[in-house]
Amino acid sequence: MPGRRVVITGLGMVSPIGHNKGEFWSQLMEGRSGIAAIDRFDTTDFPAKIAAQVKNFQVQDYIPRKEARRMDLFVQYGCAAARIAVEDAKLSIKPEDADRIGVWIGSGIGGIETFEKQHAVMLQKGVGSLSPFFIPMMISNMAAGQVAIMLGVRGPNGCTVTACASGSNSVGEAFQLIKNDKADVMISGGTEASVTPVGIGGFCALKALSTANEEPLKACRPFDLNRNGFVMGEGAGILVLEEMEHALKRGAHIYAELIGYGATADAAHVVQPDMEGRGAALAFRMALNEAGLKPEEVDYINAHGTGTDLNDQVETKAIKDVFGAHSSKLMVSSTKANTGHMLGAAGAIELIASTLAMAHNTVPPTLNLETPDPLCDLDYVPEGPRQQQLNVVLSDSLGFGGHNAALIIRKLR
C-alpha cells in the first residue's frame, strides 16, 4: 500500500541478557540464557521458582532517583530503554520538532508490583495510607507518558495492551502513524516487570510456567518434545522508527526498513490459540500483503516460540499454511530460551533481535532443542548461530485473548 517509508534508526533494551545492543547480541550468539532462580521473593510455595530477571540495572544511570521513586519498575525499564534507543539513533530532539515526535509503548500487565505493594499497605494501614502516586505508577500507559515527559515530545502518544503481542502491536501502530504522516519519528516498543509474587503465582495457577526448577538454563525449550511451559522474563525493548527521508537528511544510521504489519484476532479462546492457526496465518498474510512480498521472499522468522505445546504446534501450522513449500527452506528460531518470555515487551525485544540478525547476516539459534516435537518439523536452527544472507525477516507475536501480530523488516534498498 502507498505511504511514506519507515526505517529503524535506534535500538534500546533492558533485558535479562544485556542493556545495550552489543552485550545483547553477543549473549544471543554465545547461547547464553538469563534464566535463573528467582531471588526477589520467597518461592517456597510456588511450583515455578525460576525466571529471567533483569540484572545489574541501575536506574539512576537513566532517570534521576527522585523521579524513579514515582515510577513502577516497568516504567523505569521503559524509560531506560527509550533513552538508550534515542542515544543509539543519535537523535537530537529540538523543541521545534517535538510535535512531530511521538511515543507508543505497550505493556501487557503494567504496574503489578505497585498494585501488590499498595494493596498490602491498604490492608495493613488503611485506605488513608495509599500513595497519591499509586494510580499514576500502576496504569499501563504510563511508560509512554513518562518517556514523552522525559524527552519533551508532544506527538502521538499511546499504549497498546494486547498481552504478549503488546510490543509488536505498539511498533505496528507507530509504523502506521509515520507511514500516514501523523509523525516523523516514533519511539516505540514494549515494557514489562511481572516477576512478582502475584505475577508468578497467577501464571502458576494457569499451569503455564515451566517447573524445571533444578535446571533453569534448560527449562525453556521451544519446539522441543520435552518442553513443559514457558519461563517468565522481564525488561523492555524500544526502537526508534523514523520516516526515511527524515533519517537520511540527518545522516542517521539505518538498520532496516519496516515494511509490513499484520494484526488479527483468533476469536477462539482467552488463553489457547485457535488450533488451526488461522489468526496467526492471517496476520502473516496481512503483513506480507502490506509489504508487497511473496512468501518465498522471507528468509527468516523470529518466532513467538514460547515453549508451550499449543503455541509451538499452532505457530508451526500457521507458518506451513502461509509459506507452503517454502516452509522447508525457511529458518525459524525462538530467542525466548535466552530472555524468557518478556510478555508485553517480548515482541519488541524480538524485533530488535531480528534487526540485529539482519545487520549481522546471522540467525540466532533456538536453545535447548534436543528432541524435536514431531508436530514441529521446521528448521528451528538448533545447532548454533547460522551465518546467512538475510534480506527479509518476519517477527511474530501471539497473545492471550487471541491477539496476533506480525512485523516484516527488509534491508534498505
For the record, the C-alpha cell of 340 comes out as 524468557
The amino acid present at 88, given as its one-letter code, is D
Clarify whether 119 is annotated catalytic. no
71 and 63 Cβ atoms separated by less than 8 Å: yes
Distance from CA of residue 347 to its chain's centroid? 3
For the record, the C-alpha cell of 200 comes out as 508468578
DSSP 393: E
**Could you tell me which residues come within 8 angstroms of residue 394 by beta carbon, excluding any fewer than 6 positions away?**
260, 284, 287, 298, 300, 301, 302, 354, 406, 407, 408
The amino acid present at 396, given as its one-letter code, is D
Terminal-residue alpha carbon distance, the chain: 17
For the record, the C-alpha cell of 43 comes out as 518461592
**Residues 106, 107, 108, 110, Cα dihedral to 10°:** -150
The amino acid present at 199, given as its one-letter code, is G
Q: Which of 19, 79, 159, 164 is catalytic?
A: 164
The amino acid present at 363, given as its one-letter code, is V
Clarify whether 164 is annotated catalytic. yes
DSSP 274: P
Q: Can you list the positions of beta strands (E) in 281-345?
A: 300-302, 331-333
Distance from CA of residue 324 to its chain's centroid? 27
265 and 403 Cβ atoms separated by less than 8 Å: yes
- 265 DSSP β-pair partners: 403
How far is residue 53's CA from residue 12's CA, in Å, rounded to a whole number? Answer: 17
Q: Which of 19, 246, 341, 403 is catalytic?
A: 341
Q: Which of 19, 246, 304, 403 is catalytic?
A: 304
**Can you give the length of the chain in residues?**
413
Clarify whether 403 is annotated catalytic. no
For the record, the C-alpha cell of 309 comes out as 505445546
Return the active site residues: 164, 304, 341
